[in-house]
Amino acid sequence: LIREVKGIVALDSRGNPTVKAIVKTNKGIGVGIAPSGASKSSKEAIELRDGGKKWVGMGVNLAVSKLNEEVSQRLINQDSRQQYLIDSLLIALDGTKNKSSLGGNTTTAVSIAVSKAAANTANLELYEYLGGPSARILPTPILNIINGGVHAGNNLAFQEFILIPTGARTFIDAMRMSIEVYKNLKGVISEKYGKTSTNVGDEGGYAPPLNESREAFSLIETAIKKSGYELGTDFHLGMDAASSEFYNKDKKVYKVDGKEFTSSELIDFYESLINEFSIIYLEDPFDEDDFDSFSEITKKLGNKLLIVGDDLYATNVNYLMTGIKKKATNGALVKVNQIGTLTETFDYIRLAKESGIIPVISHRSGDTEDPFIADLAVAVGSGIIKTGAPARSERVSKYNRLIEIENQLGPNAIYLGKEPFVRL
Ligand code: PGA
Ligand code: ZN
């Protein structure tokens, strides 16, 4: 039974305060820390922030005090193994549609901490506790190694240029190969743009002063070759356009690389990039409300690559239902703090899987040392994890946990490489 629920302030990778929950049972303890996005969907659970001058308005004192009072009182003496019940209590206590009363940051931290306390009490690894004995698929990492959009101080409209180690045989091999390319990419950028261009963005990828998306992909291609690998066999590429950030709702156009595109022109542009750079992953190609354009691109290109809804769905089963009806995507991003509890996240993953949609477990651009999503990815057998460049501790904590899990599983571990992208 839960004996103590405590909230304190922690810091995320951008230096913003966030909520940390510590849950103790008679025999175990669990800690959860809420991450935080920058290119957020308007459909997400609301983060409770204090406003005002302190912490530049980003304080979470109210969230933490709600955790220490209302939430703590409600959860004491509950069974930590009853995740569904506990999440239901959180949802009822909050009483809003978007967690705006307790804050999605509060409920996320608590929900995660409860699951870890239960696993710890049962003396199980978290992925075993959440996924059972069949949990043994290590996800293929998709690594954001050039940052643009709102994650970087450059002119790239697209937010993420992603490296995918499809040719690796094991998770550790995938990391080694990707790091070789990441390191060589630094040299390639430095040679062409000078060493001041090798600084990194919010997710640890380089943020060179580029104006054209094609140039970003081409730099990565050069780095792949320089590392002795081949694009299209050892590696494939991906991108998160995060296009709500550069959509002009009044004019109904997308501004990319200094030009304006209608939806159908943008499909053609995506298609040319996809063919030129062996792209097998495309996230948020259109505005978060434009289901119809998603359906169009999925109809046209969905047999070639994974088209993933992030801001489109916001880890919410209701939006995913619409996407399923409209055949909008064949992939769905999963971010626990977009919806605010684990139970709702599992419902979303289940619905995706039942509908033949690949769930992709994801970090946030503001993240922490909490490796929770590594265990989550293995537990649900997602097959894909998105957690940034292989640098910066808030990214690397997830990779390190996956390396550890691969070691624990030994010969039972499975790495699927390209398969999750073509299981369409
Ligand atoms: P965010 O970005 O965490 O800033 O929302 C990540 C993403 O768009 O996938
Ligand atoms: Zn995204």
ipTM comes to 0.99
**256 CB-side CA count, 13 A:** 21
Name the 3-class secondary structure at 243.
helix
> Is 364 labeled as ligand-binding?
yes
Q: For a ligand 1 pocket test, name from 243, 339, 364, 395 the mutation site with the most ligand atoms within 8 angstroms of its C-beta.
A: 364
The catalytic site residues sit at: 203, 335
Ligand 1 pocket test: which of 159, 287, 311, 361 has the largest number of ligand atoms within 8 Å of its C-beta?
Answer: 159
Q: How many CB atoms lie within 10 A of CB 82?
A: 14
Phi–psi pair at 401, nearest 5 degrees: -65, -40
Q: What is the pLDDT of residues 78-107, one digit of tens each?
A: 999 999 999 999 999 999 999 999 999 999
Q: Minimum-distance ligand to the CA of 37? A: 1
pLDDT digits (tens, 9 = 90+) for 279-321: 999 999 999 999 999 999 999 999 999 999 999 999 999 999 9
Tokens 């690949």 -> residue:
358
From residue 177, give the alpha-carbon distance in Å to each of 143, 180, 181, 183, 414.
12, 5, 7, 10, 18
Give the DSSP per-residue string, 158-210: S-EEEEE-TT-SSHHHHHHHHHHHHHHHHHHHHHHH-GGGG-B-TTSSB----
Helix, strand or coil, per DSSP, at residue 328: coil
Q: What is the pLDDT of residues 193-206, one digit of tens each?
A: 999 999 999 999 99
Are 159 and 150 a contacting pair, CB within 8 Å? yes
Annotate 30-99 with DSSP letters as a single string.
Answer: EEEE--B-SS--TTSPPPP---SSGGGGT--HHHHHHIIIIIHHHHTTS-TT-HHHHHHHHHHHH-SSSS
For the entire predicted model, the pTM comes to: 0.98
Q: Which atom of ligand 1 is nearest to the CA of 151?
A: 4
pLDDT tens-digit map of 151-164: 999 999 999 999 99
Q: pLDDT tens-digit profile of 211-259?
A: 999 999 999 999 999 999 999 999 999 999 999 999 999 999 999 999 9
Pocket of ligand 1 (CB under 6 A): 37-40, 159, 240, 242, 310, 362, 364-365
